Structure 1
Amino acid sequence: MPEVDLSSICFVVMPFGIKRVGDKDVNFDFIYDEVFVPAIAATPLPEGGYLEARRTDKDFFSADIDIEMYQYIEYSRLSLTDITGLNPNVFYELGVRHRARSSGTVIFRQVDAAIPFDVNHIKAFPYEYEPETQVEESKSLITRVLTESLLNNRLDSPVQIALAAQRAMGLSIDRLLKDAENAIRRHDRPQAIRKYEQAIKLNYGNATLYQEVGLLYKDDGKWNKAAEAFAKATRFIPAYSEAHRELGIAQNKLFSKPGSSLEMTTGEESLKRAIELNDQDFDAYASLGGILKRLQRFEEAYVMYQLATDVSRGHPYPLLNAIRLQVRQRGSMSLTAKQTSQLKRAEQMVRLQTQDSPPSNIPWCFFDLSDIYVFLGRKDACFNALEEGVYNCTSAWQAETHLNSLQLMSNVLAEDEIFKRCIDFLKEEIPNLPQD
């Protein structure tokens, strides 16, 4: 390998050339040259100097390219990985990096890029390169994230985190965790919960185990148990931001349901703590927005949803909630050019969810698409998407939630024929859906 000081190198793992992503062609070489390279070059090293970007097809290797590529993956100070397009080579190299290094791996994706199940728990920072005005904003974001990674040197490899936990806990827990993972892949949630509970008995103070079992209880609708597990995770690691977020969500779910063994609370304080610990967690902002909306603190809710939209670069969930509240508060359907652009990107993302086989994120993908059509003035398609959402509901509360969201805008849309048709249809169908 040529003489290179890898302590100043940021190795970029990404697709090469022009690749098809969804329904558009993406020029990844442009992104590397005009977004990643200048952002990396602007990142200061703590000891002085600046990072340098490297990519295998951009360097001249003196020996076997595979050997030298692996050396770059393993020994570079940082690695920037772009998972846009779900390129198999990118994921392979990301896996190698995660196995090799416990920290120094930063993941990015384009705002409308899908994230597969196996890595959807890993932070992937969203960026944009179109329109051109977004390039400078994206470069600034990337430089900031890389700088923070260098300064904080946080453990970011899920592989290393899991292996360290398993080594600390011993082989018996290692076996239990493997069994739990296999149960999750078989969609056998009760068995996965049992395995995590057995592991907790062997290592009572492990916050990660409580967080994982709490998420399983949450998915199973067992909110009391989920809240208790998240609360224990925060006690063992007070700075565990994800645990505070999930605790706040569970607390809010239980707020109107008597019988919880925990002190009754809206969850607002837990979510504020999560945001204090991680101000880039859009889920925490959005969840806090939901609490404030239910408490009819609409202006505060709008602020939280807008922050979630900004942090996530236009994720459909906070974007649509922010717009609904904006319509209510301002008494007008007028949108900014930025909001219209965000809605068009959200439409692409949500439409892909509805076209999955089976559709993903049901029934919300259909409800979201219906609202997007309303805001973009495509009322002809609005009711059809709403109808599809109702037919994909598994419980009445889902349709009731969407009905409540629509009714927030009744002060503006009450006389609109399509809007009234949607409201009447929801009211008519909700009694026919399964009740919790």
Structure 2
Amino acid sequence: MKDFKSLKVFVAMPGTSMGNTAKYSNPESVRKNLLTPVIDRLKNRLNIQDIELIIEKEKLDSAPIHQSMFREAQTADVYIADLTGANPNVYLELGVRWALCDGVTIMIAQSVDDLKFNVFANRAFIYSPENLIEITDKIATAIENGLKNNICDSIVRLNNDTITISRLEIKALNDEINRLKKARGEDLINAAKATDNINEKLTKLIEAIEANPASAEAFLELGKTYRDASQYDKAIKTLRDAHKLRPTDSIINRELGVTYSKQKKLDDAIYYLKEAVRLSPNDAEAWSNLGGALRKLGMIEAPNSFNQKNLEEARDSYVEAHKINRYDLYSGLNIARLNILLSKWDKTLLTQAQEQFKKQVLLCRFAVQEDSNDYWRLFDLADTLFLSGEYGEAYQVYDKAISLIPKEERKDKLSSVIDPFQNYLSASVFSGVYIDEIQKIIHTLTTAMAL
């Protein structure tokens, strides 16, 4: 038996008259002579003093009566339907009770003739002035047994898998399901971030989105992973889905811009990267990526023509990134790379750029010592060595960096390393041995992309 500390007993009965043939014609007399004694017996038998007897007509609520009646049909611990006079409203209420609740439901009447339709086949307690004491005990016993044994006494729900649940409970369950889905999605995202296997990463991130389709982070990480795998169309679609969920997220705008830049859709790339730096002006990475997209735009018609203005804007973007983090090698080295290209119009910038690379060698060596498995740091060191004329060591560092890139990601990563060298050749800013060495390193990197 459920551990009841209180009970609610609701009685559905005619509101004014019990019918022409009823011996107890007044509902109040039924309350006094039958219902109240039943409650008293229940208090003694169940040792529960807080038992509330509720009769609809006695309520003083302002809400519509049917709203209250049907709510009680669902929530009352014990439901007594007095079918005396075969009152249609009471039959309606009884049907609602049977539909909504397994039990405990008790039928009473003053005459067998009051039991109509399917009700006739069910147990009902017939009461009269002559049997009040006996019937009171029987009703109390039936209620006690129903509460203790948790038996379904509804002819509608008997042997039926249907249950009744409130909207609040459904909302609570849905909220909990959504919480668990979100938590599972977050766990899958974390698991994806922890693995170096790109196929495993893709699988986990797809599962994360299935678990929580509202997770912008899952779409963001999946888009970045598709990009690492050089699946740029899928990356764009996935990142746009992330953008729909969080259009003002600077990181999503940044990564969308980076991916459009990989596709060489430079107008789109610049739009989203400018939006990223507008939303987050201190995002050095966004400024650097904007610089990269502007550099590509400045070189898009090379070797036939070059856009000096775009290249200067690209350098300015890298300068902004370097202002935010003056220890950032990426932005600092790209300022030097842009000066090499801009030396097409100002020859002094080439010497200045080469000096910049020489000054960065020690800092790049230190960065590699801090993390010798970071292939980007190795590429930075290799570039500084190469553009400082230290070709032998540069090639050794390039080879090590290439070996650290997962094969599935080499095409995407190495294309970023090759681009500046191809730009140097297109702009014809180097001469002599530099050209031979640049062609050689382009061949080395291109070959590695195909492996």
The TM-score with structure 2 as length reference comes to 0.48
* Larger relative helix fraction: 2
The TM-score with structure 1 as length reference comes to 0.50
